[in-house]
Structure 1
Amino acid sequence: MRTLHAEWIKLRSLRSTWLTLACLFVVGLGLTVLASNAAGALWAQATDAERQAWDPTERSLTSYIVAQLIIGVLGVLVVTSEFATGLMSTTLTATPRRTRVLAAKVTLAVAVALVAGEVLMFTAFLTGQPLMARQDLPSASLGDPGVLPAVFAGGLYLAAIGLLGISLGVLLRATAGALTTLVGIVFLVPGVGGVFPAWMHGIFDYWPTLGGSAALATVPDPDFPHPWLNLGGMCLAVLGVLVAAFVVFRKRDVV
């Protein structure tokens, strides 16, 4: 508990923590408003097949695409800020048990990411649906089938990305390197997925921004028929990266 308290003091005393969270909500909700207001034009041009597949819940949650990068930045900074300033050596002198230190960082950062992610997703849904209803578009409520799990999945997905950011920060120990890797994972690989051999396409079922985010929809996607399995597989993969981070953090010099 003392280690958790010490890490909480560091986390909340960093200006970057509050600026990142503020950016998360400003950018996330701003994108929600833009996407919801633009939905009217898309609906007017949509074909009958596209209207059948229209998912107002998923549209109001599209801000996760950028929010995942911001929440990943928060996870990276939890670790790399101490490496950059040399404070990590002081921390490990005060608390020599490295697994305890990293476990405390992970616990606090994931808790913050989960709460912030859930608040953002629920606020985005409750903001986007009235904007679409005002344009006489199909809209949804939290009581509709599949809506509440989809919104909850959005916060869980963001928390997993935050955990991935922490793991990359530990493995690479540099903010720039960890963020570059994170951007490659959540944006670059999904964007060029078509160039990979067919035998590799199975991993995309559990990849962030692809199969990992399928649970944020309420209309079934034929490419991802088991969305919660996809999200669960992504979370297990992130846990695997975290295990590697614990092993490296325990054995490697911190300077």
Structure 2
Amino acid sequence: MLEQVAPRVWVTTSPTWLTTSTLVVDDDGACLLVDPTLTPADLVSLAAEVHGRGWHVAAAFSTHPHWDHVLWSDALPDVPRWATPAAAAASAATDLADLAATDLPGHRWDVVGGTTPLPPDTTELQWTGPRAVVVPTPGHAPGHASLHLPDDAVLVAGDLLSDVEVPLLDDTDGAVDDYRRTLKRLAELEVDVLVPGHGRVADAAETRRRVGTDHRYLDDLTAGVEPLDARLGDPRVRAEHERQAVGLGR
């Protein structure tokens, strides 16, 4: 079920990992679809609701190349599915369907991957609707980028600033420093509505709180201190945290 979170922005959230799909809807019904998720049934339902409202998907964007953010469906139209060049390359080099079947078995993953790289140095998506600024946000995955909608003060953050997941780091040297710089950059944007890839939509005050919480988590992680972070109560998130701690030698 779609929920309106800003004048031109709608979201729907899968109960699995609270994974969010975002629609930016222009006045003529043209939609920019960001990170459609999660199960094949979810995607078919999303396509049906878009059609039922008299809208049409005109373009799509993938924030990063993890399998749950590069999904599509035959029920959706054949439109450009943009990603940053690094994200598109990483997606093409990975067996995403196999990862999907491992992480969330029991589904037939027909369309996963296949994103289209944006031209290098693209700063805004070239579509007919509201301005969508591509904000490089490294630290979580290759080529990760968030979308900022400046006219609506909305940030579609990808796998950042979640209230259910701690910062999950890319497997590269310097990921912690990259993530810290990303948090500082996001804190400088005008954001009245935050849409995370996993978790609940936030207002401006909650967005600022999440930036601070994520900084504290990274400080504790790198210092070898056990974080006092409620998100670690989820066994899946706890396991990822422990993996990261081991990887940093803590």
Give the structure-2-normalised TM-score: 0.25
**Higher strand fraction (1 or 2):** 2
**Higher helix fraction (1 or 2):** 1
Give the structure-1-normalised TM-score: 0.24
Greater relative contact order (Cα < 8 A, sep 6+)? 1
Q: Kindly name which structure, 1 or 2, has the bigger radius of gyration based on alpha carbons.
A: 1
